[in-house]
A and B are shown apart, each in its own frame.
Chain A
Amino acid sequence: MSGLTIMDPLEPHAWRHGTVVAGTLWKNPVGTASGTFNLDACGGYYDVSQMGAISTKGVSPVPWEGNPTPRTAESPAGMVNSVGLQNPGVDHYLVDELPRLKALGANVITNVAGHSDEDYATVVERLADSPADMLEINVSCPNVSHGGMSVGTDAKALNRLITRLRALTDKPMVVKLTPNVTDIVEVARAAVDGGADALSLINTLVGMRIDINTGRPILAQGTGGVSGPCILPIALSFVWRVRQALPEVPIIGIGGIDSGLTALEFLYAGANAVEVGAAALVDPVAPMRVARELDDLLDERPELADLLEKGECWR
């Protein structure tokens, strides 16, 4: 466990350093990453309303069963997953997790999944009048056969999809990008031109592990998505490159964050906020601890803290 500061992440805390992402106020710059937060599981460990934002598991138009098991394999300083977006669907989300999160006072980013443009449009439409604070369009999941990453790797298809979704909602729309591309700037630009209010990056990198006893992949699906500390330097470089090319667009940095220090690196790479993923799977309180550590670190960095508070970023 990180030994940066000995503090109690559960103690009531008055946040000193907030951020603004696409006009939405976050009480601190740290959110949970989609697929690594579940209210019933995490709500017991900390007060979810105290996170900067909660990005929920991808929701699809109808319930999805996900992939066969095994769905996880360990990798050095990380993990490979092929959950395949198992979720109970948007109708369930609208009467269950979303209202419960809002009743607790959470700032909610609803992560949207689909196999086709039609799927994404259906979900975005269903969410248009919901109490969700932001939408995060997941065009970057490597674990579904259609939609997901296939949209996020094709600038033209992505632009067409985001343009269509833009017409369906007034909510701040974040587009979540995949690193499995040759030119991240091209897809980032396509999303922004289509009407994205912000970008979040990165989703997982395609990877796999082999079971040397059987000579077969450990994951039933063969390949999956790599996350955890091992992807930190890669994620930072993606955020930094997009920030260089697109100085104005709000960016949520994701990938391998497990401490206030690693979160801070993303803010210096040009992110306006961050999300914590795999670290939460191995320590339920990790997102809250990262937020508390970052709050202390920003005390000593007033210039950066001021920029974030104004909805601007480090350049």
Chain B
Amino acid sequence: MKPNLFISTSRVEEQAQEAGRLPGRRTAQVTGMEPLDRQVWRMIIRDPYLAAHAPAGAFINLYSADRMTMMPRPFGISRVLEGEQIEIIFAVVGQGTYEFSRLQPDMAVDLLGPLGHGFDLEKPAHYLLVGGGLGVPPLIRAAQCLQGQSGVRTTALLGYRDHRFADAIMGSLTDRLESIDNASGDVITLLDRVRGDIDPGRTIILTCGPLPMMRAVAAWARKAGLPAQCCMESRMGCGYGTCVACVVDTVDGRLKVCKDGPVFAADRLIWNTDEDKKETR
């Protein structure tokens, strides 16, 4: 299946604006594609609406050009870039991500978004951005939104399987960055390391990564008396709140990851250990 060359016929954004509606699925132009690691890519997409409306923690759906693989592929927005562009960072794990990794500048990709309810970054505080692997992208956007805010300090604590592919981008946006790979430890090792530098009254944890990691971070935060916001992942059917496929159990009931989340306060989530086991296999 050969992806199409981008030809600017899609007026979805203008049409939606004229009708006072959200822009639906549209075709956007890929403007950049670069490998960050083996099988990890950074893709830049030009989409004026997304560039103007991309809260930290929000994601987009990408769609395959092949109608055989029709379901949405959700990706966190990692940065907004000049020239009405946004960036995503993704790993090739299956058919859809393989297809996206073959896209080149000036090719077209269908997308929907921005989607979801993001991080709460209202309070001036010391933000600990705790990310694992492909959970880092939404935290990069959080760092970008927090950069230069008065009364805000940012420390990124990143865990990787091996290569530290997001350190360069994250390092340019945060006051401090510590990272670790599986051979030397995990993000809990890093949290313990920065503990001495934390003022419990004005520190907030933002976390995104594999479920068992976030569970451990949430437990660490509870013990340390820090509020934590978790950016969750789930298999989706639509990504915009219609199908009720993507639910997570919370003290407020079964909520949709795509619309009520993906960001939830750690103390509202019900951490189900059996589910975690299934996901980590």
Binding site for B on A (CB under 8 A): 1, 6, 8-11, 35-38, 40-42, 44-47, 57, 65-66, 68-74, 76-79, 81, 83, 86-87, 213-214, 218, 220, 228-229, 278, 280-285
Q: Which residues of B contact A38 (CB under 8 A)?
A: 241-244
Q: Nearest chain A CB to B79's CB is how many angstroms away? A: 25
- Return chain A residues, CB-CB under 8 Å to B244: 35, 38, 57, 66, 71, 83, 86-87
Smallest CB–CB gap between B163 and chain A, Å?
Answer: 22
Please name all residues of chain A whose beta carbon is closer than 8 Å to the beta carbon of B112 when the two chains form the complex: 283-284
B21 touches A83 (CB 8 A): no
A72 and B235 contact, CB distance less than 8 A: yes
Q: How far is the CB of B4 from chain A (nearest CB, A)?
A: 11
Q: Could you jot down 14 A-B contacts, CB within 8 Å?
A: A9-B15, A35-B243, A40-B241, A40-B259, A41-B242, A41-B259, A42-B242, A44-B21, A69-B246, A70-B235, A77-B68, A83-B237, A213-B281, A278-B70
Residues of chain A contacted by B68 (CB below 8 angstroms): 76-77
Where chain B touches its partner, the secondary structure class is: loop
Total interface residues on B, CB under 8 Å, equals 39
Contact flags (1/0) for B7-24 with A, using CB distance below 8 Å? Answer: 001010001101101101
Bound together, the chains give a CA A57 to CA B241 distance in angstroms of: 12
Give the contacting residue for B240; candidates A78, A218, A284; CB below 8 A.
A284
Cβ-closest chain B residue relative to A229: B67
B147 at the interface (CB under 8 A from A): no
Measured in the bound complex, the distance between the Cα atoms of B79 and A162 in whole Å is: 55
B114 within 8 A of A: no
Residues of A within 8 A of B30 (CB): none
- A81-B237, A218-B235 are known; give 15 further A-B pairs, CB within 8 A: A8-B15, A11-B15, A11-B19, A45-B21, A46-B21, A46-B24, A71-B244, A71-B246, A72-B235, A72-B236, A83-B237, A281-B238, A282-B238, A284-B112, A285-B25
How far apart are the CA atoms of A87 and B242 in the complex, in Å?
Answer: 12
Q: A residues within 8 A CB of B246?
A: 69, 71
Q: Is the CB of A77 within 8 A of B67?
A: yes
Per-residue CB contact flags for chain B residues 248-281 toward chain A (1 = under 8 Å, else 0) read: 1000001000010000000000000001001001
B72 at the interface (CB under 8 A from A): yes
Question: Measured between alpha carbons, how far is A37 from B237 in the docked complex, in Å?
Answer: 12
A69 touches B25 (CB 8 A): no
A74 touches B15 (CB 8 A): no
Tell me whether A72 and B243 are in contact (CB under 8 A): yes
Q: Which of A45, A66, A83, A220 contacts B24 (CB 8 A)?
A: A45
**Majority SS at the chain A contact face:** loop
B247, A282: Cβ atoms closer than 8 Å: no
- Nearest residue in A to B236 (C-beta to C-beta)? A72
Those of B1-54 within 8 Å (CB) of chain A? 9, 11, 15-16, 18-19, 21-22, 24-25, 27
B71 proximal to A (CB < 8 A): yes
| Cβ contacts under 8 Å, A1 to chain B | 25, 27, 110
CB distance from A88 to the nearest CB of B (A): 9
Q: Shortest Cβ distance from B184 into chain A, in angstroms?
A: 27
A87 to B243, CA, bound (A): 11
* 3 closest Cβ pairs, A-B complex: A41-B241, A10-B19, A285-B24
| A57–B242 alpha-carbon span in the complex (Å) | 9
**Cα separation A282 to B63 with both chains bound (whole Å):** 8
For B66, the closest partner residue in chain A by CB is A77
Interface: B190 (CB within 8 A): no
Docked complex Cα distance between A70 and B68 (Å): 21
Given contacts A38-B241, A66-B247, A86-B254, A10 and B16 within 8 Å (CB-CB) = yes
Within 8 A of A (CB), among B182-240: 234-238, 240
Contact between chains at A72 and B25 (CB < 8 Å): no
Question: What's the Cα separation between A1 and B26 when bound, in Å?
Answer: 9
Contacts A69-B235, A81-B243, A81-B245; A282 near B21 (Cβ below 8 A): no
- A86 with B70, Cβ < 8 A, contacts A37-B242, A38-B242, A81-B237 known: no
- Measured CB to CB, the nearest residue on chain B to A289 is B24
Report Cα–Cα, A42/B238, bound state, in Å: 11
